Amino acid sequence: MYDLIIIGAGPAGITASVYGARKGINTLVITKDIGGQAALSGDIENYTGYQFITGPELATKFQEHMRKYDIALKENEEVQEVEKIGDVIKIKTNKGLYESRTAIIASGKRSRELNVPGEKEFKNRGLTYCATCDGPLFRDKEVAVIGGGNSALDAAIQLMRIAKKVYLINIASELGGDVIMRQKVMESKVVTVVNNAQTMAILGNKFVNGIKIKRENKEEILAVEGVFVEIGLIPNSEFARGIEKNQFQEIKVNSYNETNVPAIFAAGDVTDVPEKQIIIAAGEGAKAALGAFGYLVRHRF
What is the rounded radius of gyration, in angstroms, for the C-alpha atoms of the chain? 21
Task: Tell me the one-letter amino acid at 162.
Answer: I
178 is catalytic: no
Concatenated DSSP letters of 2-41? EEEEEE--SHHHHHHHHHHHHTT--EEEE-SSSSGGGGG-
Residue 2 CB neighbours (<10 A) = 19
Q: Which of 130, 154, 178, 272 is catalytic?
A: 130
133 is catalytic: yes
d(CA 102, CA 84): 9
Instruction: Enter the DSSP assignment of 81.
Output: E
269 is a catalytic site residue: no
- Could you give the 3-state DSSP secondary structure of residue 195? coil
User: How many beta carbons lie within 10 A of that of residue 257, not counting itself?
Assistant: 28
Q: How many residues in total does the chain contain?
A: 301
Catalytic residue among 133, 140, 178, 272: 133
Pairing of β 226-229 and β 142-146 = parallel
Helices and strands (DSSP H and E) totals, the chain: 6, 19
Pairing status of strand 53-54 against strand 72-74: unpaired
Q: Which of 80, 105, 123, 115 is nearest to 12 (CA)?
A: 105
Do residues 188 and 161 make contact, with C-beta atoms less than 8 angstroms apart? no
- Note whether 103 and 257 are within 8 A (CB): no
Catalytic hit among 33, 134, 178, 272: 134
Do the beta carbons of residue 168 and residue 149 sit within 8 Å?
A: no
> Which are the catalytic amino acids?
130, 133-134
